[in-house]
Structure 1
Amino acid sequence: MELEPSPVPTEPGYRLIRRNGSVTLFDPTKITVALTKAFLAVEGSTAAGSRRVHDVVQDLTDQVVSALTRRVGEGRTFHIEDVQDQVELALMRSEHHKIARAYVLYREERAKERAADKAATTKDAPPPLHMKAEDGSLVPLDEVRLATIVEEACVRLDAVSAAPILTEAKRNLYDGLSLDELSLAPIMAARTLVEQEPNYAFVSARLLLDRLRREALTFVSGRPEQATQAEMATRYPSYFPEFLRVGIEAELIDPELKRFDLDRLGAALKPERDLNFQYLGLQTLYDRYFLHTQGKRFELPQAFFMRVAMGLAVREIDREARAIEFYDLLSSFDFMASTPTLFNAGTLRPQLSSCFLTTVSDDLDGIFKAVKDNALLAKYSGGLGNDWTPVRGLGAHIKGTNGESQGVVPFLKVANDTAIAVNQGGKRKGAVCAYLETWHVDIEEFLDLRKNTGDDRRRTHDMNTANWVPDLFMQRVEADGEWTLFSPDEVPDLHDLYGAAFKAAYEGYETKAASGGIKVFRKVRALDLWRKILTMLFETGHPWVTFKDPCNIRSPQGHVGVVHSSNLCTEITLNTSKDEVAVCNLGSVNLLNHVTENGLDLERLAKTVGTAMRMLDNVIDINFYTIPEARASNLRHRPVGLGLMGFQDALQRLGIAYASQEAADFADRSMEAISYHAISTSVDLAAERGRYPSFEGSLWSRGILPIDSIRLLEEARPGGEMDSSSTLDWEVLRKRVKNTGMRNSNTMAIAPTATISNICGVSQSIEPAYQNLFVKSNMSGDFTVVNAQLVHDLKSRGLWDEVMISDLKYFDGSIGQIDRIPDDLKAVYATAFEIDAAWLVEAASRRQKWIDQAQSLNLYIANPSGKKLDKLYRLAWRKGLKTTYYLRSRSATHVEKSTLKGTDGKLNAVSSVIAAAPAASEPIAVTADAAWGKACAIDDPECEACQ
């Protein structure tokens, strides 16, 4: 039953380290042989020779190989003990307990035999190991430097030690290994310890830094070079101009950057901030953000932040001073710019904007121009929201051909395939969301777009979809009334109307249809259509539910246009038309960095918001626009979207449970402060740089701020449930806005922050905690994530030990069922599916009153039913939310409960999917197929929201 290597490889490129230190090629068939022997030993030759056992053994072999190859990454080398550990885990997870027990006992016996043989045999000390240098020659392995780097990585971190890392790393070394393999060994060793102590995530990052330093310094200097973290204090300033030179020569960096005072900027770099990364954040930057050429990264973290800062300061008067100011904000993690800004700032094509919104015209030229625009905008990392409502519906008359339209769906298929074809240079998937108003005659086919059954030519398996829901529809649902579907070519003004004007026009068209004046229409029961919306949300995860009227009634820019849709992530609410493509530039405040034990640090928050708003405003003028309609719109209105992340972390730092009135109050007060300073800074920028061109006539010009526009919504639909309290001196700011003006038409939007929150090592956006211990998957791999604040609190009460780690795994990262944890901690550290989703809506409503755009709001329901979902979404509408995003529900599939130790793979396979209900009063039956279909998993590496 013991695994031994074979000279014949069947898994090319992977190698196995034997116990004597020799290396051979890895042969998975040996795993199959060992497993078969184990079954023979327990079940006998007859049972073990059956087709059932053959299939089971093959499946177990595949599991082991997958776990091994996923874990080793670039090293492509693993130890014989690792293989046996994975075999043991596979047997346990598959519940072959007798076989696993026999296998464990056999391993123990063989280990005792080897120990006895070793004791009885006197051997010389093992020969020294060698490593392969850059030129291919073998040189003695520098164990002293290895120890130095590991010990340095542990400095000033509590509860970590270099010893276990070195022990595990040395176990995986062999004679003749490469420098890359040598640098990878301690990283992989430290990763396995994260579940025991969260600070090992910092250790892993620091060890990755050593590898990155060697790669970058060697490339920019043209000679083999490496440096410790301590040595970087003097090396960073001289490296920085070399880095810019290499980037400019490779045509990756704008030559304008070399005209900055590089000595001044190099001296401003803070190497010690390299130590603030956790492993997930740094690995994400390494894989997807740092500049590279010829397969080599040559951008170090502080150079990365300074490059971005320089790109944003390039048009400032004292651009060195501003670059340093921007750099300090980014590198401190107090604020982080959005992914497109991080990708492209300071490059030859600085496309820095995150979101683009378009309206599609009702003619072939307009439709295919929209598809082309999607491709051009997506090419440089833009996320797209398309308003398809103007396109005529199925059966509508086409004058040019005297035929009938095939409706909007075939064109959506083309847009879907374009999004997949243009994948943003491989950095992340191209992504688009199509919006359709609920009165469109094709709405029922639109709801079916993500289904896995039916005519595949009328399906869009990769495109996100969203309902643009008028208030009148929700009112008809509540009244259980009729709803009429129209083709937009016969009711063209409905697209641009909202509120009372929409109601009057819509009812007029219903009367006209009843008298025969409209050819293409269909009557449905509003409640039936609402139920189908929820059904499709459950079955496919789409369309999302977004609300047209609050987006328009509270829009500051209603005087110059209409909001026809939101964006890819439902937080942007800007006007679009055939002549204007809305653009928004995003960045997020790290709320965790702005709280102390006493609450919000308002002085620090004001400083952060002031600098962040200036950076976002600069994006508008620096930006590389791929289509003229985007440039014209952005320069005319100058919208930006300042958001936040780390909300859950801030609550836990303050000891506040998410499901509480105190949390809703904190959401209110924190957003009020951000709103106040964002608006105030925009006024300051207007005084310095001028108002945005379309300011006159806006809500701003009339002294109506976001907190004031709640009144407009209540007038349009009485009976709303939005809170309107405030604590700051808004009257003074209101006067400043009217007298001085605003630099930006819109100032705030809360984006998902999925990737930039990883970089900063904080919780995503305004999300509740998914789990307290889990494995996160994204495009950079699988990462153990442990709630460090929980560990801190458990340690303070003497509760953090191996048993607690085991319990956390068993209960899938939840502490609710662990008896020895006090109730106060259970409340503070309740996970997303343990929180009543009504509290998520309440907190979002309290934030929405301060925000001139919207929020990417995910909703979580552990056991969804039609009744629950109907109640939740009606509550969201009544509470004045403008949009909702994903609805997530637990998968019904059995959750794996096994150790993460030694694997760091995707073992805790708890995933959540978007779900809804088949009817407003029926219970839901979640099948494994539905749960693991096309719907979004929380740790899905291909999901836009998970990136």
Structure 2
Amino acid sequence: MQPIIKQVAVTSSVRSVSNDFTDNSPILGDYRVIRRNGAVVKFDRQKISVAMTKAFLEVRGAGAADSASVRNIVEHTTERVLEALSRRRPAAAHFHIEEIQDQVELALMRGEHHQVARAYVLYRERHAEARNQKAREILPTPIQVTDKNGRQYQLDVHRLQEQVKEACRGLDATDVESLLQRSLQEMYDGIHEKEICKALYLAARARIEREPQYSQVSARLLLDFLRFEVFGRDVHHTEMEDLYANHLLDMVRVGVAGELLNPLLASRFDLAVLGSTLRPERDLQFGYLGMQTLYDRYFLRVDERPIELPQSFFMRVAMGLALNEDNPTERAAEFYEILSSFRFMSSTPTLFNSGTRHSQLSSCYLTTVGDDLAEIFDSYRENALLAKFAGGLGNDWTPVRAMGARIKGTNGKSQGVIPFLKIVNDTAVAVNQGGKRKGAVCVYLETWHLDILEFLDLRKNTGDERRRAHDMNTANWIPDLFMKRVMEEGQWTLFSPADVPDLHDLCGANFERAYVAYEEKAARGELHHQTLQAVELWRRMLTMLFETGHPWITFKDACNIRSPQQHIGVVHSSNLCTEITLNTNQDEIAVCNLGSVNLPAHFKDGVLDEDKLEKTIRTAMRMLDNVIDINYYAVSKAENANKRHRPVGIGMMGFQDCLYEMNVPYNSPEAVEFADNTAELLCYHAYLASTELAAERGAYESFEGSLWDRGILPHDTLRLLAAERGDNVDVSGELPLSADGGGDRLDGDYLQADLSQRQNWQLLRERIKMYGMRNSNCVAIAPTATIANIVGVTASIEPTYQNIYVKSNLSGDFTVSNRYLVDDLKALGIWDDVMLEDIKYFDGVLEQITRIPESVRAKYPTAFEVEPKWLIDCAARRQKWMDQAQSLNLYIAEPSGKKLDEMYKLAWRSGLKTTYYLRSMGASSTEKYTARTGALNAVSAGGSNGSSAPQACAIDDPDCEACQ
């Protein structure tokens, strides 16, 4: 493939520092000069005159400077140089400094100023020798470099020095010379020029653990490597202001020709205008992990070569989301602004596919599988098609009859649901999301299903492999009645759904009445069933959760009683990451489109900028709503459902970063209040934005009869949930069911919840009454494991896993230190190699490092030091406002049956809809080598399922980003 920007020819393979020429004359005013350090500057004719004057002074003495004849000769010769250069490049172009100096030599010779020309040549040679001597001091033995055509030239050490210096610009804790020396140690004679870039950024990456600023240095050096691949030559950052505009044009052209990009990107947008809006300086805001993630997994490639740079990548995503707008260029610029500034980030499928020919932009698909062989095998096909283009899947398998149930068509007995789930597992492995990442699916089963005991064992490493599924996730879909039976130590009855088909679609008090009636029939021997103690099953669920990490604990009735869409269906499961709660049935596959607000990008001086946050959310909601109409649907059931109900899921990330900025520990009342406040702001402005879209575009099709339509907002539904559970809560009287007049807390036996509020929710009700809602659902907090890496903040609502840990990705392993902690320790003057080793020795935990003041240790508890109560309290405050759910990981340092029992009961009583992974320290281990040995100090922590990933979300596996 040809370089996107034509490579500038140069006349010398040696690149060293010298004068640079810029020009204000009409002849070469639009030309640029490439300096030996790679910088690009304006052409200045005066520099040519000065250089020639110095040569005349050396030949004719100091008086030559005042000689009119010398001045005339210099002026005339300068004009000849300018004419020669302009003939060589009639249009505006770049000249290398060596090319200009060659023309000065020739002009002096042609003017028969031979002695002056010789002086000029000697002047050039002296400067070249000085540069070479400096290079020899750094690298005594010259290294030959091999270019892409197999030709060799001598390594220009000074050029590397300037490159490293530029990467370290503005980062005062970095050391240019030592980094350069370390890089040179990794180079060898005959090294390919691409490997030189790698040596630079890998050397910087190795220093991140001691100095977090090297994360930005590594990112900038990796960006240099990316530019080399895209442009086919070394490109200095200062050139990008000129190059980016043309690059966007060429990127679209190459992408369309390569059948990657939608041709509408070339015809629907003013690319010149959009190119001028790109912000090259935003390339410098990346940390290494963010840049490496984009380079390895997100940038489009033609013939294995990237065609995108960070800003053109964000613009491609923005253009793809603005395709159907009336003013697409203006909207693309608006979308680009919040993406490139890291204020909001779309989910991984959107980043992968926006603007492409197969724009599958949605994150999550939820399905219900019917009790029919044809429907079961249709579900495999649907899973495969949805997974192919990067969709994460949640399957509800509750309707499928249990083992031993009668098959009417053959008069035989069913093998139950388990053998079918083995095929689900293998389908996810086989269809690896278009070759970009592993297929990802979570299967849900209700707790009353007769196959529930075998379902709990699916992830075990022992037993019959034909009844095991090691590559998919599983989750319990638990009705409130089961939790009440557990707390009351009552019995629980298991049924085959073929005998009790209505239980699947019932919830709350209606489910309880029907279930008790079926229990009475079973007691009379009229139904196939199994009875056991509810506590016994609960213990089995928690035991398997601890041993295998599955099935997750999710709550059916909280999801349904609080669902805005309960008037037309039932939520039968959540999704792959337990944050989506949408209706499904045999005719509709629920779809959700995700993206997350970056809270730290709206934070300044310890305060959240609410006006800025509101603007970001308004634009982000428009982007998410656009996904619904632009999206490529592999299955018609998904398209019909998505366009009818138009659900989206805006979330948040960087919650822990904000707490650090506020000097607030996660395990504190202040953190709980901040969780409440940020969730209320997110939800309030998301719902308002949806009413604005409804005013412009119309309400979603199934709006009439929804809770929105009835004036019942998500936080109002807490009272409904308490009443359904049997708590003595007054829900009579006029709607809405607000906290006004009823106190600011619910304290029932089965639900305890805070009801305080800050925003003007009555205004929202009035707007909904006037315009309706554009989206049936608006808010869902996803894990953000990968997009949080891109923007360089902590994932989602997660506490810090460890203050130092090993990050594994496609480029290998490297150690990451908590940059906030490092800054605080620097301010105290106690950040040194000994401190680094101490933190490693104690697995990132500060408690036993007494050299650190207690106030600092209290600010930086790790996830396992934060009692689960604080995580659940924060989550409950968020859940109050949300129309969907949140991916909530729970951590426990010293697990026991009693602690797990109390933790998950608290989650249920707090009104949470779902929980996600359970993480324990049971399998933790640390490799403790000293830094002086040069070995990597790997700090790993195992979760309850044996995972060693430092992120709580298994989705952070290098091969998978499932939701985000």
- Coarse TM-score class (shorter-chain normalised): 0.7 to 0.9
CA contact 2:556–2:572 (8 Å) conserved in 1: yes
In the superposition, the TM-score normalised over structure 1's length comes to 0.83
Within-5 A mapping of 1:532-681? 532-681=540-689
Q: Which whole-Å deviations, capped at 9, do the CAs of 1:208-252 have from their partners, x for residues lacking one?
A: 00000010112xxxxxx2211111111111111111111111111
Match of 1:378 among 387, 394, 399: 387
Per mean C-alpha deviation after superposition, the further-off stretch among 314-323 and 340-349 is 314-323
Count residues in correspondence: 803
- Which residue is equivalent to 1:162? 176
**Taking structure 1 as reference, are residues 124 and 201 closer, same or farther at Cα in structure 2, changes over 3 Å only?**
closer
Structure 2 counterpart of 1:192, which letter?
A
AA matched with 2:940 = V
Further displaced range: 627-636 or 295-304: 295-304
Closer/same/farther in 2, CA of residues 581 and 937 from structure 1, 3 Å limit: closer
Question: In the aligned structure 2, how far is the partner of 1:347 from the partner of 1:357?
Answer: 24
Where do 5+ consecutive residues of structure 2 fail to align? 1-136, 728-747
Return the offset for 1:688.
0.3
Contact 1:566 1:572 in 2 (8 A): yes
Query: CA deviation digits over 1:512-557, x for unaligned, max 9?
Result: 1111221x21001000000000011111110000000000000000
Q: What aligned pairs does 1:897-936 form with structure 2 within 5 A after superposition?
A: 897-899=928-930, 907-914=937-944
Match of 1:399 among 400, 408, 414: 408
Residue 866 (structure 1) aligns with: 897
Q: How far 1:420 moved relative to its partner?
A: 0.4
Cα contact 2:139–2:157 (8 A) shared by 1: no
Aligned AA (1:749): A
* 1:789 paired residue among 804, 820, 827: 820
Q: Could you tell me whether the CA contact under 8 Å between 2:391 and 2:962 is conserved in 1? A: no
Of 856, 862, 879, 1:848 maps to 879
Q: Do the aligned residues in 2 keep the contact of 1:778 with 1:946 (CA within 8 Å)?
A: no
Using a 3 Å threshold, how does the CA distance of structure 1 residues 469 and 498 change in structure 2: closer, same or farther? Answer: same
Note if contact 1:480-1:527 (Cα within 8 Å) is conserved in structure 2. yes
Aligned residue type for 1:287: D
Cα separation, partners in 2 of 1:938 and 1:354, compared to 1, 3 Å: closer
CA drift of 1:202 comes to: 0.2
Residue 318 (1) aligns with residue 318 (2): no
Q: Secondary structure at the match of 1:685?
A: helix
Alignment CA distance shift 1:937-1:730 (3 Å): closer
Q: Distance in 1 between matches of 2:955 and 2:325?
A: 41
Instruction: Map residues 345-494 of structure 1 onto 2, 5 A cutoff.
Output: 345-494=354-503
- Seen in structure 2, the aligned counterparts of structure 1 residues 680 and 411 have a Cα distance that, compared at 3 Å, is same
Instruction: Tell whether 2:142 aligns with 1:134.
Output: no
d(CA) in 2 for partners of 1:868, 1:946: 30
Aligned to 1:817: 848
Give the counterpart of 1:883 among 910, 914, 924.
914
- Give 1:327 shift: 0.5
1:253 maps to amino acid: L
Deviation of 1:821 after TM superposition, in Å, equals 1.2
Q: Secondary structure at the match of 1:350?
A: coil
Cα 1:946–1:788 shift into 2, 3 Å? farther
d(CA) in 2 for partners of 1:937, 1:299: 28
In the alignment, which residue of structure 2 is the partner of 1:213?
227
Structure 1's 403 and 508: CA in aligned 2 closer, same or farther, altered over 3 A? Answer: same
AA aligned opposite 2:563: S
Partner in structure 1 of residue 239 of structure 2: 231
Distance in structure 2 (CA, Å) of the matches to 1:212 and 1:450: 41
- The alpha-carbon deviation at position 427 of structure 1 amounts to 1.6
CA contact (8 A) 1:940 1:946 kept: no
* Percent identity between the two aligned chains: 61
Change beyond 3 A, Cα 1:345–1:940: closer
Whether the 8 Å CA contact 1:891–1:913 is kept in 2: the answer is yes
Residue 783 of structure 1 deviates from its aligned partner by 3.1
Distance in 2 of aligned mates of 1:931 and 1:257: 42
Equivalent residue number for residue 838 of structure 2 = 807
Read off the aligned partner of 1:190 and give its amino acid letter. Answer: A
Q: Alpha-carbon deviations, 1:436-480, whole Å to 9, x = none?
A: 000000000000001111111011011100000000000000000
Correspondence for 1:188 among 168, 193, 202: 202
In structure 2, relative to structure 1, the CA distance for the partners of 1:936 and 1:675 (3 Å cut) is closer
Structure 1 unaligned regions, length at least 5 = 1-122, 219-224, 916-928
Conserved? CA contact 2:606–2:661, under 8 Å: no
Q: 1:602 to 1:937 in 2, by over 3 A?
A: closer
**1:233 and 1:944, CA in 2 relative to 1: closer, same or farther beyond 3 A?**
closer
CA distance in 1, matches of 2:837, 2:362: 44
Matching residue within 790, 815, 822 for 1:759:
790
Shift of residue 164 of structure 1? Answer: 1.4
Once residues 846 and 955 of structure 2 are traced to their aligned partners in structure 1, the CA distance between those partners, rounded to angstroms, is 19
Change (3 A) 1:746 1:381: same
Residue type matched to 2:865 in 1? E
The 8 Å contact of residues 911 and 937 in structure 1, kept in 2 or not, is answered as no
Q: Is the 8 A contact 1:784 1:904 kept in 2?
A: no
Q: SS where residue 508 of structure 1 aligns?
A: helix
| Structure with larger Rg | 2
1:148 aligned partner: 162
Higher mean C-alpha displacement, 509-518 vs 332-341: 509-518
In structure 2, the partner of 1:340 is: 349
Aligned partner of residue 940 in structure 2, secondary structure: coil
RMSD: 1.9
Range moving further from structure 2, 784-793 or 557-566:
784-793
Contact 2:576 2:963 in 1 (8 A): no
* Aligned partner letter, 2:863: A
> Counterpart amino acid of 1:911?
A
AA aligned to 2:237 is Q
| One-letter amino acid matched to 1:298 | I
Question: Relative to structure 1, is the Cα distance of residues 938 and 294 closer, same or farther in structure 2, using a 3 angstrom cutoff?
Answer: closer
CA distance in structure 1 between the aligned counterparts of 2:681 and 2:138, rounded to whole angstroms: 70
The residue matched to 2:864 in structure 1 has which SS?
helix
Instruction: Find the aligned partners of 1:776 and 1:713 in 2 and give their Cα distance.
Output: 41
Contact 2:367 2:590 in 1 (8 A): yes
How many angstroms apart in 2 are the aligned matches of 1:160 and 1:930?
Answer: 34
Q: Assess, with a 3 A threshold, how the Cα gap between structure 1 residues 137 and 598 changes in structure 2: closer, same or farther.
A: closer
Q: CA deviation at 1:834?
A: 0.7
Q: 1:768 to 1:125 in 2, by over 3 A?
A: closer
Aligned residue in 2 for 1:918: none
Q: 2:217 aligns with which of 198, 203, 216?
A: 203
| Cα pair 1:337 1:587 within 8 Å, conserved | yes
TM-superposed deviation, 1:937 = 6.7
- 2 CA distance for matches of 1:486 and 1:355? 30
2:254 aligns with one of 240, 243, 246: 246
Q: Write the letter of the residue equivalent to 1:580.
A: E
Q: Which amino acid in 2 is paired with 1:692?
A: Y
Which stretch has the larger CA shift, 801-810 or 679-688? Answer: 801-810
Task: Give the residue type in structure 1 aligned to 2:576.
Answer: L
Kept in 1, the 8 Å contact 2:788–2:794? The answer is: yes
Distance in 1 separating the partners of 2:589 and 2:442 = 15
